[in-house]
Amino acid sequence: NAGVTQTPKFQVLKTGQSMTLQCAQDMNHNSMYWYRQDPGMGLRLIYYSASEGTTDKGEVPNGYNVSRLNKREFSLRLESAAPSQTSVYFCASSEAPVPEAFFGQGTRLTVV
């Protein structure tokens, strides 16, 4: 019973490099989310996908793109990484009417 799985767990990038964070859930949830967590800032929503085939911007979308590949997978792409994108990234999923959001284990990204 894996729940929400993120890869990789750790990553160091140089400024300007690109990468994709992967997220997969095995709970058959319709909705998926990407958050970033910074000290003193809590969890801020980057993008979300209310259902397969739809994606929308959250609170802090600049510098990111997403793809809802299928119902299970929701990826986050950094096209040109910047030091300001150093953060811990969490993927989450949920399914109405149960409101609980289930989080992945996080990806710690450092941009140097």
Partner 1 sequence: GENVEQHPSTLSVQEGDSAVIKCTYSDSASNYFPWYKQELGKRPQLIIDIRSNVGEKKDQRIAVTLNKTAKHFSLHITETQPEDSAVYFCAASRNTGFQKLVFGTGTRLLVSP
Size of the site for partner 1 (CB under 8 A): 25
For position 48 contacting partner 1 by CB under 8 A, the verdict is yes
- Determine, following the binding rule CB under 8 A, whether residue 75 of this chain makes contact with partner 1: no
Compute the least distance from the CB of residue 34 to partner 1, in Å: 12
Assess 58 for contact with partner 1 (CB under 8 A).
yes
- With contact defined as beta carbons under 8 Å apart, do 107 and 10 qualify? yes
Three-state SS for the chain is: CCCEEEECCEEEECCCCCEEEEEEECCCCCEEEEEEEECCCEEEEEEEECCCCCCEECCCCCCEEEEECCCCEEEEEECCCCHHHCEEEEEEEEECCEEEEEECCCEEEEEC
Using CB under 8 A as the binding rule, the residues of this chain from 7 to 46 that contact partner 1 are: 30-31, 33, 35, 40-45
Enter the tokens of residue 17.
């490099």
Is the Cβ of residue 18 or residue 70 nearer to partner 1 in the bound state? Answer: 70
Q: Which of positions 92-111 make contact with partner 1 (CB under 8 A)?
A: 94, 96, 99-101, 103-106
- Least Å distance between CB 102 and partner 1? 8
Pull the structure tokens for residue 31.
């909705």
- Residues at the contact surface with partner 1, assessed by CB under 8 A: 30-31, 33, 35, 40-45, 48, 50-51, 58-59, 90, 94, 96, 99-101, 103-106
